[in-house]
Amino acid sequence: MRDRVWHPVWKPIIAALVALLFLMGTVWAGQAPATSAEHEPKAGPVVRTFGAEGGYRTEVRSETRGTLGQEDRRQAALLAAQVFQHVDEARRALDADDAKLARREIDKGRGAIRAIRALLPRTSVHTRTTAPNGEVIYEDEREVQEDRVPMFEGMLHVQTMAPIVAAKRDAADVEGVQLVGTSLLSTQVMVDLGVVEAQLARAAKALEANKNAEASEALVAAQVRGVDFNYHKEDSPLAEARDAIWLAKRALEENNSAQARANLEIARQRLKIYREIMPEDRQKEVDQLLAEVGQLDGKLRQESSQAQPTSAAERTRQGNAVTQWWDRVNSWFRKRF
């Protein structure tokens, strides 16, 4: 076996990654048990029905298999970083006219993605539409899996992202953004597995046809289009609030009001922190959202003392409201590249 020669840029990255994962493990270990409904075993399929009674009706039945615990999250984060390490090494190999090495790195990157997908839960979705007379006029069943996974959340050593940022800057996606080699940014980095997977497959096919330039273009596309990250020191509580709001939505879809309330409380705490660092005109927007979150929390609290279960229509209305909050919070991020 040929000894691996690491490019100098990756030596400090691996050390930083090990330190980062240790830090992440320490932080996670100190947290309370996960409040997300999506990290708990599912009681059964989730059924949503759309359409008026007596008219055309569409039923969507989904059931998720598998969970993503803290250790698996760490694995996914590590493997996502490995994917882009292999992408960068493949680009460097092509620059040196070493197509064989480039192909080996591409294959390793694709293998890392397969490993991530093996960790991620899968959801089977069955959709059926019936006419007023009960006739089934449309039916479909498929298995889906989340494509967007976090590479890192929280404090991220920016050197780890240096090759990706460089590729994005070359593509004019991050014009004016400067990163200091040893600085730390509070950030969230999301990897789009579908995009990266497609571009690595394109690069492999190009190499088979001896089209090195096309393969290099595909690798750059993986770095530019396959990663999305927000960063700003003021945005950390906002990102946490956004995630908690999304988890509350998922809990409502599963008719788990207690879990929804727990996540809404996290969202409120983070929004209050975010409010304190915002200018006065922006604080009014946060206050409005806090008031709306408080109203829903009050309704969910009342439900626990009611004898009758909450109707599916009311749950849908609540879920739609939470989805709007999530969209609103996303629009508040100050930096996006």
pLDDT tens-place string over residues 127-149: 999 999 999 999 999 998 888 88
- What percent of the chain clears pLDDT 70, i.e. is strictly above it? 72
- Residues 18, 167, single domain; the answer is yes
- Residues 20, 165, single domain; the answer is yes
Range of the domain at 198: 1-34+68-121+146-231
Q: Inter-axis angle of helices 193-208 and 70-95, to 10 degrees?
A: 30
**Angstrom distance (rounded) from CA 142 to CA 127:** 9
- Residues 78, 156, single domain; the answer is yes
Residue whose pair of structure tokens reads 């829903």 in the numeric block: 296
Residue whose C-alpha is closest to residue 160's, from 23, 31, 30, 270: 23
* pLDDT reading at 171 higher than 70: no
- Residues 194, 240, single domain; the answer is no
- Residues 190, 335, single domain; the answer is no
**Angstrom distance (rounded) from CA 310 to CA 25:** 39
> pLDDT confidence of 73, banded at 50, 70, 90?
confident
**Angstrom distance (rounded) from CA 264 to CA 124:** 27
* Residue 59 lies inside a defined structural domain of this protein: no
DSSP H or E run through 184: strand 184-192
Phi, psi values for residue 59, rounded to 5°: -110, 130
- Residues 279, 158, single domain; the answer is no
- Residues 177, 109, single domain; the answer is yes
Q: What is the mean pLDDT of residues 216-237?
A: 77
- Residues 108, 210, single domain; the answer is yes
Which domain-ending residue is among 190, 206, 231?
231
How many domains does the chain divide into? 2
Contact predicate 79/68, CB 8 Å: no
Q: Give the model's pLDDT for residue 75.
A: 86
* Residue 321 lies inside a defined structural domain of this protein: yes
Residue whose C-alpha is closest to residue 165's, from 104, 111, 246, 84: 84
* Residue 286 lies inside a defined structural domain of this protein: yes
- Residues 167, 23, single domain; the answer is yes
Among 40-49, 271-280, 292-301, which range has the highest average pLDDT? 292-301
- Residues 151, 245, single domain; the answer is no
Q: Which of 56-60, 154-158, 245-249, 333-337 has the lowest mean pLDDT?
A: 154-158
> pLDDT confidence of 2, banded at 50, 70, 90?
very low
Residue whose C-alpha is closest to residue 63's, from 127, 130, 155: 127
More confident position, 45 or 7: 45
